[in-house]
Amino acid sequence: MTVCPTAIPGRPFGRVLTAMVTPFDEDGKLDLTLAQELATYLVDSVGNDGLVVNGTTGESPTTSDHEKEQLLHAVVEAVGDRATVVAGAGTNNTEHSVELAQAAERAGAHGLLVVTPYYSRPPQEGLFQHFWTVADATELPVMLYDIPPRSIVPIQVDTLKRLAEHPRIKAVKDSKHDLLAGSEVLASTDLAYYSGEDPLNLPWLSVGAVGFVSVIGHVVGDRLRKMLDAFEAGDVAGAREVHNGLLPVYRSMNFVGGVIFSKTALRLCGYETGQPRLPLPGATEEQVRLITTDLWDAGLVLVNPDAAQR
């Protein structure tokens, strides 16, 4: 089985992973040079020990299969020797998901993120067979992505327990907001849990999560690591202090949305990654002002919000 560079016992994909945006140039084309620069920045300067590529925040619905494979090659080449590179490979088509998983393995990814099939609203048996089939398709470890706000259908506790029996299904990225369900799975399986909802990062640690797959990690990966370190050292008050300092960042991200927030926040912090692809628009002037104000409140930008320009 492929070994993730930052995997340790109980943490099969590392600790702090950012769901990386996909950089585009001024013409909206994939910019591989900028992608490598961004990946290097996120790992070496911001403090991430893993990256999720071609996920929701990576605008996977609007990138082609060829672009996904190119992007993975580029990111693995840039940081794959010192960070875990997890490839988003889930769709609502099992056969297509298998193809993406196999392409990700060829591109050198260390693991797969497989989202709950969306739109089709399959029953639990369909979810089980879908995830099992994708996990069977490669030798890569798999992180299940449970996000009913987008997929409608949650992965139920009993289904997660069954899926935990697959030797390559190692973890869950949880965006279900159900700490009780997660606690039941953690208590009865060896699955590792990663918080997939930044405002709940600290609460998830309290019930046994081992790390984060973050959006705000684009700009505060170092603070997320500090929060995780403090919590695991028994300094809950210190972890809470970091969490409270991130409240303005959580607020902006929730209000604007992950892709628009991330690309705008990176730009305000001096890192251009281009505009999102439609149907996601670029940030409005009001959204830029809101994000700037919140980043100012969090101590992340030195520009007076009143002077911020789009």
Report which of 37, 5, 8, 3 is spatially closest to residue 20, judged by C-alpha positions. Answer: 37
Query: How far is residue 197 from each of residues 124, 144, 254, measured CA to CA in Å?
Result: 23, 14, 10
* 184's tokens: 């039941």
145 has catalytic annotation: yes
CA–CA dist 173, 285 (Å, integer): 33
Condensed to tens digits (0 to 9), the pLDDT of residues 64-77 reads 999 999 999 999 99
Mean per-residue pLDDT over the chain, rounded: 95
User: What is the per-residue pLDDT for 310?
Assistant: 42
- Which is the catalytic residue, given 173, 176, 226, 263? 173
List all residues 6 or more positions away from 264 whose beta carbon is below 8 Å from its beta carbon. Answer: 256, 283, 287, 288, 291
CA–CA dist 185, 172 (Å, integer): 10
User: Does the pLDDT of residue 304 top 70, yes or no?
Assistant: no
- Which is the catalytic residue, given 41, 145, 193, 250? 145
pLDDT > 90 in the chain, percent: 92
User: Does the pLDDT of residue 236 top 80, yes or no?
Assistant: yes
pLDDT range class, residue 301, cuts 50, 70, 90: confident
List all residues 6 or more positions away from 117 whose beta carbon is below 8 Å from its beta carbon. Answer: 90, 91, 92, 93, 94, 126, 127, 130, 151, 153
Average pLDDT estimate for 183-192: 98
* 247's tokens: 């409240």
CA–CA dist 306, 68 (Å, integer): 38
173 has catalytic annotation: yes
User: Does the pLDDT of residue 307 top 70, yes or no?
Assistant: no
User: Does the pLDDT of residue 308 top 60, yes or no?
Assistant: no
Condensed to tens digits (0 to 9), the pLDDT of residues 141-159 reads 999 999 998 899 999 999 9
